[in-house]
């Protein structure tokens, strides 16, 4: 998950306050992609669980480094694939399964409360 040529920070708290909303929006896109690609058990409201946020951010960066070609290490890629089962267990806590359209609305509301309304998105 590259952001303008720089790697995505693993912790949103390390991001400048003005960029935190963008950090979460980028993570959302990565989480949906990871869920589809690896059939992960991502739950509704995953963004409310700090461990899940950290695990998903770390996984997104890990996958991106292989996808971008920065890392070309077959044993490391296999290790990533073997870790998916353990990550999936960590993601099982929480509400029902992620429903992308419904949960995106909840996610946006949460970001609005935490970081202010995104002017690029019309209010419902």
* Chain centre to alpha carbon of residue 74: 24
Closest listed residue to residue 35, CA positions, set 14, 55, 21: 55
Residue 124 inside a domain? The answer is: no
Within a domain: 79: yes
What is the reported pTM?
A: 0.87
> Per the domain annotation, does 122 fall within a domain?
no
Quick one: pLDDT at residue 4? 45
Q: What is the mean pLDDT of each run of 10 residues along the chain (124 residues)?
A: 63 92 96 97 95 95 93 95 95 89 97 83 57
Report yes or no on 83 lying in a domain. yes
Q: Which domain holds residue 62?
A: 2-115
Any domain includes 108: yes
Question: Number of structural domains, the chain?
Answer: 1
CB atoms within 10 A of CB 107: 22
């Amino acid at each position: 998950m590259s952001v303008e040529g720089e790697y995505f920070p693993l912790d949103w708290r390390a991001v400048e306050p003005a960029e935190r909303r963008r950090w979460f929006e980028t993570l959302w896109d990565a989480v949906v992609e990871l869920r589809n690609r690896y059939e992960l058990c991502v739950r509704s409201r995953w963004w409310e669980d700090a461990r899940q946020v950290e695990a998903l951010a770390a996984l997104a960066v890990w996958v991106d480094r292989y996808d971008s070609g920065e890392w070309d290490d077959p044993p490391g890629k296999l290790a990533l694939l073997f870790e998916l089962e353990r990550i999936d267990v960590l993601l099982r806590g929480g509400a029902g399964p992620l429903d992308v359209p419904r949960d995106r609305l909840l996610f946006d509301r949460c970001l609005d409360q935490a970081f202010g309304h995104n002017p690029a998105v019309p209010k419902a």
